[in-house]
Amino acid sequence: MKKFIIFLMVPIFIACTGGKSASPSKDDFAYQVDTFADIKILRYRVAGFEDLSLKQKELIYYLSQAALEGRDILWDQNNKYNLAVRRTLEAIFENSENKLSDDFKKLETYLKRIWMANGIHHHYSEDKMIPGFSAEYFAAEVKKADPAKLPLKEGETPDDLIAVLTPILFDPDVMPIRSNQAAGVDLITTSANNYYEGVTQKEAEDFYAKMKNPDDNTPISYGLNSKLVKENGQIVEKVYKINGMYSAAIERIVGWLEKAVNVAENEEQKDIIRTLIRFYNSGDLKTFDEFNIKWVQDLTSQVDFVNGFTETYGDPLGMKASWESLINFKDIEATKRTEIISNNAQWFEYNSPIDKDFKKEEVKGVSAKVITAAMLGGDCYPATPIGINLPNANWIRLHFGSKSVTIQNITEAYDQSSMGSGFNEEFMWSDEERDRAKKYGSLTNNLHVDLHECLGHGSGKLLPGVDPDALKAYGSPIEETRADLFALYYLGDPKMVELGLLPDEEAYKAQYYHYLMNGFMTQLTRIQPGKNIEQAHMRNRQTIAAWVYDFGKDENVVELKEKDGKKYIVINDYKKLRDLFGLLLNKVQRIKSTGNFEGARDLVEKYGVKVDQEMHKEILDRYAKLNIAPYSGFVNPVYSLVTDKKGNVKDVNIAYDEDYIQQHLRYSKEYSVLPTYN
């Protein structure tokens, strides 16, 4: 969900310390902050913050502090050695005697990369990143460092720390991938994440299978907030809660949530936050469901938030959730677009090209809005999605609905930072596609996100008795495929013009071309040579592109053409392409609704995993000449309370002056209370 690059010197924008101050305009705002390796770092503009009430600003401040307190939880979830690595490298970085050496510059780049990834594995490919500096340099710098600033266990020496971390950092065969999705192997023992320890895939699956009741129509999300370990020969869960695993950080999260209760917008929102606090105290997943039910029904609060153990992409079994947070407020004007979509949810469900047995008889509680992100945290930082649909529990979605958001100030940052990159000139077939992209690209991208999150994830249903986890490792790519297909199918429907969401019946073609170009070709810039596709969203996009190409061959719906020695996607029949999207949506919904593991595996493995190495090399070569980064991350704004002499809050300032290095070093000092090993 990330997107390109010209490096600029960044001016500083700081909100005034008294009264209201206007947000910098798009034209005046410096979006780009830093570039390194395959990454560019951006800022996002929090337009409209100055127009919020004092209580709303204060609420955002407290929720934002809670969002930052969970940072180290994610680092530890991603790998049990991540905190040791980060703390060691930061100690070297801040105290090295020679900051002009090539090795130090390589250490700086590596440190920036692991900040972006929240650990030693690439944030997107999930492959381990090997430092550019040598093991000898690392050892020498650790020995020079002040032992008091190193993450040493009691009785441990710098030599002991070097012995532990050297293979973790430098051996490519040690913990090579964070979350393994390869077929035919033990996905738990071959993954480097910290959700399991000492257990096999079969033991984990058997452990949770015994807990599940097939007749339970309101099942909890088993294993969502725990680490599964073997102790004294017995498999046990270490639950994330106060007085449990990650307690020190969760206590701080709860402390800020308690402050947020006092300035919540209404009684309903106060109850929601209090319920989340109860969940953090107990770790009881029934309380978590209670929180989600209340949260999804709150449609009146302008300020909203995500905070907790939410998405399961990082667990190869799709059960355990990473910690994340997103603080936001509604963009009232832009939300009119998504309200049109959500108000017509029943029409979209009724006219979907899926079998009747898999359609919801009544679509309940579908709400959608466009939001302005105010703070990113955990698994939403530094890389962040551009859309979210929650909650994830199927039965809650069925009976109580879902909330969908499009994060428009994040898409704005992507769009503004990518201007003049030369990407479209390099990869689009003709001026016709480029002109269409310029005219409709931003609008259709946002509408694709709206439809994907608002209706795609919320559409369809499981048949009675189907285990929500039946698709196992293929559950995430199948679900993303389903939501994307729903969005693609309806983007080309005349209803979009009728509802005033698209200006004419040609506009949708901009997204169709962009999607296939990305799924077939340009997303491969995110894959290392010789590698297959592991990431769920990338598998989803290639599955769709490769399937419609394969099944449209007889009628030449989509083809690969060559011009000047370069390959391009050419769409010959957009109407038939839409029909193919509908056929595949029907197939994928059947797989999802019936819990057909073999069908999911066969579809994803055939179309979504393997990479055409010849095309891959060509794409990488063409992309390299553009000198643009395939990934983007963000720095957060900095909020500060303005108080009078008695400590009463008079205003909340927002500043955009912190750079990437400053922010991460500050976060590591101010929001880092977990032990090095958990």
Of the chain, the percentage scoring pLDDT greater than 70 comes to: 97
Alpha-helical segments (H) within 262-300: 267-282, 285-296
Residue 163 lies in a domain: yes
Q: Token pair of 649, please?
A: 């809050």
Tokens 């007749």 map to which residue?
215
> Do the Cβ atoms of 162 and 142 come closer than 8 Å?
yes
Helix/strand/coil for 254: helix
**What pLDDT, on the 0 to 100 scale, is given for residue 486?**
97
Average confidence (pLDDT) over 339-358: 96
Residue 360 lies in a domain: no
Question: Where does a domain end: 625, 649, 672?
Answer: 625
Whether 110 has a pLDDT exceeding 60, the answer reads yes
Total count of domains within the chain? 2
- Alpha-carbon distance of 193 to 179, in angstroms, equals 6
22 pLDDT band (50/70/90 cuts)?
low
Question: Where does a domain end: 120, 136, 170?
Answer: 170
Whether 11 has a pLDDT exceeding 60, the answer reads no
- Alpha-carbon distance of 571 to 565, in angstroms, equals 19
Q: Greater confidence, 465 or 10?
A: 465
Residue 111 lies in a domain: yes
Residue 514 lies in a domain: yes
Q: What is the enclosing helix (H) or strand (E) of 314?
A: none
> Do the Cβ atoms of 31 and 417 come closer than 8 Å?
yes
Task: Report in angstroms the alpha-carbon separations of 156 from 92, 143, 454.
Answer: 18, 13, 52
- Alpha-carbon distance of 258 to 262, in angstroms, equals 7
Mean pLDDT of the chain, nearest integer: 93
Task: Report in angstroms the alpha-carbon separations of 110 from 114, 127, 627.
Answer: 6, 14, 20
591 pLDDT band (50/70/90 cuts)?
very high
- Alpha-carbon distance of 117 to 100, in angstroms, equals 25
Name the pTM for this structure.
0.84
Q: Token pair of 82, please?
A: 């991540």
* Beta bridge pairs of residue 407: 371
> Do the Cβ atoms of 200 and 188 come closer than 8 Å?
yes
**What pLDDT, on the 0 to 100 scale, is given for residue 21?**
52
- Alpha-carbon distance of 85 to 83, in angstroms, equals 5
Q: What is the enclosing helix (H) or strand (E) of 376?
A: strand 366-378
Tokens 């029943």 map to which residue?
346
> Do the Cβ atoms of 461 and 593 come closer than 8 Å?
yes
Residue 594 lies in a domain: yes
646 pLDDT band (50/70/90 cuts)?
very high
- Alpha-carbon distance of 16 to 22, in angstroms, equals 9
* Beta bridge pairs of residue 388: 405
Burial grade of 25 (CB within 10 A; 0-12, 13-18, 19 or more): exposed
Whether 12 has a pLDDT exceeding 60, the answer reads no
494-528: pLDDT as tens digits: 999 999 999 999 999 999 999 999 999 999 998 88
Query: Which residue range is the domain that position 93 belongs to?
Result: 81-170
- Alpha-carbon distance of 493 to 84, in angstroms, equals 52
**What pLDDT, on the 0 to 100 scale, is given for residue 417?**
86
Whether 17 has a pLDDT exceeding 50, the answer reads no
Residue 649 lies in a domain: no
- Count of positions (residues) in the chain: 678
Question: Where does a domain end: 142, 170, 198?
Answer: 170
Residue 562 lies in a domain: yes
367 pLDDT band (50/70/90 cuts)?
confident
- Alpha-carbon distance of 96 to 83, in angstroms, equals 19
Residue 333 lies in a domain: no
Average confidence (pLDDT) over 113-117: 98
Residue 148 backbone dihedrals phi, psi, to 5 degrees: -65, -20
- Alpha-carbon distance of 248 to 241, in angstroms, equals 9
Q: Token pair of 97, please?
A: 């005697």
**What pLDDT, on the 0 to 100 scale, is given for residue 544?**
98
Q: Which amino acid is at 384?
A: T
**What pLDDT, on the 0 to 100 scale, is given for residue 125?**
87
Whether 615 has a pLDDT exceeding 70, the answer reads yes
CA-CA-CA-CA torsion for 246, 247, 249, 251, nearest 10 degrees? 160
